[in-house]
Amino acid sequence: MLFPTIDFGLFFAFSLTLVWSLNSYNTLKKAVLLALSLAFYASWNWRFLALLLASGAISYLVGLYVDAEARRPYRRLALGIGVALDLAILGYFKYLDFFIAQFLTLAHALGLNPSIGFVNVTLPVAISFLTFHAISYIVDVYRGRLPASRSPLEIVLYVSFFPHLVAGPIVRAHEFLPQLASPPRAGDFSFGENLLLILGGLFKKMVIANYLAVHFVDPVFTDPTQFSRFDLIFAVYAYAIQIYADFSAYTDIAIGVAALLGYRFPQNFNQPYRALGIGDFWRRWHMTLSRWLRDYLYIPLGGNRHGALATARNLMLTMVLGGLWHGANWTFLIWGAMHGVALVVDHAWRRSAAFARFGEGPIARVVDWAVTFHFVCFAWLFFRSPSLDAALQFIAGVWSDNGAPNTMPAIVLPLIACGALTQIVPPQTRGAIGAVLDNRGPAFQVACGFALLYGIVVMAPPGSAPFIYFQF
């Protein structure tokens, strides 16, 4: 059930009324939200519902034990077992075949022929996000950021809540569970702003991301040897806009839908292509993943507390694992490693005497932006390519031109410009327009909502490709 479909439109319309009609009965409301979330997940593959429930059960039981146990070594052991179980589930479904393939390659190189086969298991939708939510809960309980919940219902609802289930944002346990304690109040949320968030998300996905993907980016990345240097370079820029429009659309819709149901999710994007430096980029791009990696991986590894070398090692490890989290492929690993190296360099540069002297002027800021943006785009090339060979072919094509004519459709530049506009418009604009909507009557609200939806339907191509982050 993709967000921009009739299926989800009907599902959400039904859920909205049902959930608010139960607002005075909080436990029943949570049970209904859980049932809706399970139904949402089952719409992809009901066989994996057991996985969802198992993940919730592990989190619930480990949380209870960690909270009740006073002896630190036992708490640590329970935490370790809980995290290992969550990672084992992720590892089995997502990485086992990758590691078997690497092992077989190495064995064949050494002249061995081990009798190991691939497991060929179907990758469950949302497995990575599910794992991160589950780990967040038990670590938050271990660190004392929140008490263990006595309600298994709340824990399973936390890991499976349908707006964030498939592609985030990654809502940490201490951000979400306290919201379940009492019924939400509609007055705490801006209807206008969240309506605009959802409609803006639909526009970004259905118009910008879909057109860029289908008519330019996908064909170029499928066979880069058939395209000119000009096409190849613009395909990278187009992909940078496509992945932003696609992923931020999903999280915008998720945040808006959750808010209209009475639950607050954290912001996930903050105009990332305005970033000055890679560190700044990661404070703006997939912010909930960055914070998760910082709090649950980088800081436990030692963070920046043990000198420059250890900091560099921790940054590299965090980013390589963050890259690998996206998928079992060398391209993701290289993408993560590139960002790791860039973060180490960025970290050193911003603490240098040269930066203090030259780094703050207007020209330096323009250079900073240009270097950051083009590095991010170059790294996307590896992220998007289906294999390392394909990425190298792509780069070779940029060098040699492939002798192909330019074929970039005319629509690409306006779409890139539209995407660029989302990075320039002041972030408070949506809140201001939302406040105007809030202060007008229902007729005006209906007229605005309808007009925007009408425009999106007019412009959207038939059908909708899955969101990029579904595969992660």
Query: What residues line the site for other proteins (CB under 8 A)?
Result: 6-7, 9, 13, 16-17, 20, 23, 186-195, 211, 215, 255, 259-260, 262, 264, 409-411, 431, 434-435, 437-442, 445-446, 449-450, 453-454, 457-459, 461
In whole angstroms, how close is the CB of 412 to other proteins at the nearest point? 10
In whole angstroms, how close is the CB of 425 to other proteins at the nearest point? 16
Residues 133, 164, 286, 326: which is the catalytic one?
326
In whole angstroms, how close is the CB of 172 to other proteins at the nearest point? 17
In whole angstroms, how close is the CB of 457 to other proteins at the nearest point? 5
In whole angstroms, how close is the CB of 291 to other proteins at the nearest point? 18
- Supply angle C-alpha 270, 273, 276, rounded to 5: 95
The half-sphere exposure of 263 on its side-chain side, counting CA atoms within 13 A, is 30
Cα 157 to Cα 31: distance, rounded to the nearest angstrom: 8
Per-residue CA distances from 38 to 46, 67, 139, 189, 212 (Å): 8, 27, 24, 25, 33
Nearer to other proteins, 219 or 449 (CB): 449
Cα 229 to Cα 162: distance, rounded to the nearest angstrom: 42
Nearer to other proteins, 189 or 373 (CB): 189
Please report where in the chains the tokens 């000055």 appear, as a residue: 276
Cα 304 to Cα 306: distance, rounded to the nearest angstrom: 6
Cβ neighbours for 443, distance < 8 A, ≥ 6 positions apart: none
Nearer to other proteins, 196 or 338 (CB): 196
Cβ atoms < 10 Å from Cβ of 314: 22
Nearest to 438 by CA among 249, 197, 194, 200: 194
- Supply angle C-alpha 43, 48, 54, rounded to 5: 130
Cβ neighbours for 113, distance < 8 A, ≥ 6 positions apart: 107
Radius of gyration of the chain (CA): 23
In this structure, which amino acid lies at residue 32?
A: V
Instruction: Give me 90's structure tokens.
Output: 């992720």
Judge whether 286 counts as a catalytic residue: no
In whole angstroms, how close is the CB of 254 to other proteins at the nearest point? 13
Nearer to other proteins, 73 or 462 (CB): 462
| Inter-residue long-range contacts of 443-449, CB under 8 Å, 24+ positions, other chains counted | 445/191, 445/192, 445/195, 449/195, 449/199
- Residues carrying an active site annotation: 326
